[in-house]
């Protein structure tokens, strides 16, 4: 069987990032006896984006990269600081590529 540089079918596993936890923090200052809450929200998880590209003719670049994970969001902190957002992952595919999604069974 001869190997080919043209790949037209590939099965990959993608997962978006989890959002970060928020912070439960109470404001504490010397002259404010009951400062109240000032925790920040957690950052959103990263997205997996599929984008059609004229520069790709085959799925060869995905043949050896089967697992694609977006970044997780960071946790919030005190003084109303929000957590950092997760890194997005973009997958470039040839124009006309058909996507078939399948949910994993747990």
pLDDT at 104: 75
Q: Please give the residue range of the domain that contains residue 28.
A: 8-98
The reply to whether 3 falls in a domain is no
The reply to whether 56 falls in a domain is yes
Give the number of domains in the chain.
1
pLDDT at 24: 81
pLDDT at 36: 80
The reply to whether 103 falls in a domain is no
pLDDT at 39: 80
Please give the C-alpha separations between residue 68 and each of 4, 22, 33, 48, 65, in angstroms, as whole numbers: 23, 26, 49, 8, 7
Q: Tokens standing for 56?
A: 């790709």
- For the chain, residues with pLDDT lower than 50 are none
Q: What CATH number is attached to the domain comprising 22?
A: 2.70.210.12
């Amino acid at each position: 069987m001869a190997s080919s540089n043209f790949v037209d079918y590939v099965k990959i596993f993608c997962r978006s990032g989890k959002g970060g936890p928020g912070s439960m923090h109470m404001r504490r200052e010397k002259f404010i006896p009951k400062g109240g809450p000032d925790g920040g929200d957690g950052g959103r998880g990263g997205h997996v984006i599929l984008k059609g590209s004229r520069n790709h003719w085959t799925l060869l670049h995905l043949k050896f990269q089967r697992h694609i994970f977006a970044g997780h969001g960071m946790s919030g902190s005190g003084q109303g600081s929000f957590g950092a957002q997760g890194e997005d992952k973009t997958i470039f595919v040839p124009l006309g590529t058909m996507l078939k999604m399948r949910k994993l069974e747990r």
